[in-house]
């Protein structure tokens, strides 16, 4: 009996997917629950597993765009699992030996011929092969032999003959045999969707960016003091992101327009706070969402971020993990970025950019001191958020991080 392999439903708004890669070969025997293929949608990658055991027959190839519910293969449950044959490798090995033996006479016949690369060098430099000392196997001339010959100084007779001639202008160096190879790779569905959304954000929103800087001394001292106790109690590291998420929530409460969307002629104000954390993966940027973070502790925030990072790395992110965000945080500082203008994640109206912490001299009470400083940026949709609100939003975050007690007391 043949069991159909169908494209599963992976989200309400998703009607098709791209076959990213088959993990099994056509005709191969597969066991129940083994991963057969990886589907790529415009939001995430989804693994399709075998629901029964048998011989696999592939009906759609990697790169094909297939509708949800369509049949991309089948499993023949009547097929029996075959044990690997031991005779085949021996036969293959013997055939390799015969091929090697048969090729040896041919190689001997061509021992005095020039390779294409060497022939090209000889022709371009008007050389006589008889003048070149050969060091290759069986007296063959190698590229290094030609290069060494060209590097040798000319004889006195040739120098004398060329003396009356006018001095030639210097020629640019030409590298012989250098690669000009290119590779054309089709964009994945996820990468195409990311590109579309970035262009859409630039086209649909009136994006501006404002900046501020934060003295990270208080947060860094707090982390140094409690990070070991925090790790022992919660089994997760005390990072910067937990503090930033808490500060963002307090700033969104003070400036609710930053947490709002435009929908036609209306503005939708969210009474909850779902914060997306941008995560870079090999397949592209993903933004898993921490839902209702206003109800989370810093430990719960850090644990959730760690779990999402592992899921993103392993390609286990689901559609639900990426949906429902009302505001986004992007941390370019982990890559060494000192300043950036992040692009909005539609339909959101704001995104916070974190950056690298660097020690810089600043003036405090008339004295120049060295402090660990971070530039932060807010890219925002000017249709929703006024300039004064964007500046006030960043100031609120700055106040919360430079005096963390404000976040605890919610002032």
386: annotated active-site residue: yes
What average pLDDT does the segment 215-229 reach?
A: 94
pLDDT at 112: 52
Please give the residue that has the higher pLDDT: either 119 or 365.
365
Return mean pLDDT, the chain.
83
Give the pLDDT confidence of 387-409 residue by residue, as tens digits: 999 999 999 999 999 998 877 76
Whether the per-residue pLDDT at 97 is higher than 60: the answer is: no
- Report the range of poorest mean pLDDT among 65-69, 174-178, 319-323: 174-178
382: annotated active-site residue: yes
Classify domain 190-409 by CATH number. Answer: 3.30.559.10
Query: 2-76: which CATH topology?
Result: OB fold (Dihydrolipoamide Acetyltransferase, E2P) (2.40.50)
What average pLDDT does the segment 290-311 reach?
A: 93
Residue 6 in tokens: 């169908």
- Report the range of poorest mean pLDDT among 135-144, 238-247, 305-314: 135-144
Whether the per-residue pLDDT at 326 is higher than 90: the answer is: yes
Give the model's confidence band at 155: pLDDT under 50 very low, under 70 low, under 90 confident, else very high: low
Please give the residue that has the higher pLDDT: either 309 or 114.
309
- Report the range of poorest mean pLDDT among 129-138, 297-306, 332-341: 129-138
Whether the per-residue pLDDT at 162 is higher than 50: the answer is: no
Q: How many CB atoms lie within 10 A of CB 398?
A: 18
Please give the residue that has the higher pLDDT: either 230 or 193.
230
Domain residue extents for the chain: 2-76, 190-409
List the catalytic residue out of 76, 204, 386, 403.
Answer: 386
List the catalytic residue out of 112, 235, 314, 382.
Answer: 382
């Amino acid at each position: 009996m043949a069991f159909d392999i169908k494209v599963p439903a992976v989200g309400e708004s998703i009607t098709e997917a791209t076959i990213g890669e088959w993990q099994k070969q056509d005709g191969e025997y597969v066991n129940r629950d083994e991963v057969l293929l990886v589907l790529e949608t415009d939001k995430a990658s989804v693994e399709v597993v075998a629901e029964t055991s048998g011989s696999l027959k592939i009906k759609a190839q990697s790169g094909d765009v297939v509708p949800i519910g369509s049949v991309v293969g089948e499993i023949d449950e009547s097929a029996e699992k075959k044990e690997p044959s031991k005779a085949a490798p021996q036969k293959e090995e013997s055939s390799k030996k015969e091929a090697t033996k048969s090729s040896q006479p041919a190689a001997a016949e061509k021992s005095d011929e020039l390779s294409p690369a060497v022939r090209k060098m000889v022709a371009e430099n008007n050389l006589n092969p008889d003048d070149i000392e050969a060091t290759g196997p069986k007296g063959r001339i190698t590229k290094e032999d030609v290069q060494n010959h060209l590097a040798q100084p000319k004889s006195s007779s040739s120098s004398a003959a060329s003396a009356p001639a006018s001095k030639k202008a210097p020629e640019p160096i030409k590298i012989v045999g250098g690669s000009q190879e290119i590779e054309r790779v089709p964009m994945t569905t996820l990468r195409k969707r990311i590109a579309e959304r970035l262009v859409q954000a630039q086209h649909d929103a009136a994006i501006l960016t404002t900046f501020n800087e934060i003295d990270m001394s208080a947060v860094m001292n707090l982390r140094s003091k409690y990070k070991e106790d925090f790790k022992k109690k919660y089994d997760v590291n005390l990072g910067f992101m937990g503090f930033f998420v808490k500060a963002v929530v307090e700033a969104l409460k003070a400036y609710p327009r930053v947490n709002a969307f435009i929908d036609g002629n209306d503005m939708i104000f969210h009474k909850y706070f779902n914060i997306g954390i941008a995560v870079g993966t090999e397949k592209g940027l993903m933004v898993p969402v921490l839902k209702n973070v206003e109800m989370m502790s810093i430990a719960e925030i850090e644990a959730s971020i760690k779990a999402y990072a592992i899921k993103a790395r392993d390609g286990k992110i689901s559609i639900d993990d990426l949906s429902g965000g009302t505001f986004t945080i992007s941390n370019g500082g982990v890559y060494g970025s000192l300043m950036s203008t992040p692009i909005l994640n539609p339909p959101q109206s704001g995104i916070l950019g974190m950056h690298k912490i660097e020690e810089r001299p600043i003036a405090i009470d008339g004295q120049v001191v060295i402090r660990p400083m971070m530039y932060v940026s807010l890219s925002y949709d000017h249709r929703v958020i006024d300039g004064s609100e964007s500046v006030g939003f960043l100031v609120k975050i700055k106040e919360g991080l430079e005096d963390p007690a404000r976040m605890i007391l919610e002032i």
